[in-house]
Amino acid sequence: MTFAIEDLFIGKIARMQRIFTDEEVKICEKLTRDNSPVYNLNEDIWKNYYDQPIVPGLLAEGLINQVISEKLPGVACLLLQKELIFYLPVYVGDIITAELEIIDINVERNWVTQKVTCINQSGSEVIKGQVVIVIVTNQN
């Protein structure tokens, strides 16, 4: 479902869930050239900090972008600002639920501000923050 800015309202919420795989981590590493050993099961460095290798932050953020592009607003838009805090690591196999809630709408600029909350399968908050997007329209 897609929404025009006039259809949106403060308090509107959208959610999506995703399980991150080892294959996705490898693809992300290849595309971003971020080869940190904390993502690699065959390395030992992550063992000093985590229970298992972690999912790259950029990949975890992809779920947030997916909610924006597919659900809220689900129309052509551009990310203007992103402020995220990673409270806990996201691991391969985690079930992450991203929830976005509209907290401000600037109709004049076509800007929408959304609160971001991501939780894992245990109910722990792993990512929190906010994004500002501009809805791209065909109007001048």
pLDDT in tens, 27-46: 877 787 777 666 566 666 66
**Which pTM was predicted?**
0.84
User: Which residues of the chain fall short of a pLDDT of 50?
Assistant: 140
Strand order of the sheet with strand 77-86?
13-19, 95-106, 111-119, 125-135, 77-86
**What are the φ/ψ torsions at residue 16 (nearest 5 degrees)?**
-145, 155
Q: What is the pLDDT of residue 2?
A: 67
Q: What is the pLDDT of residue 140?
A: 46
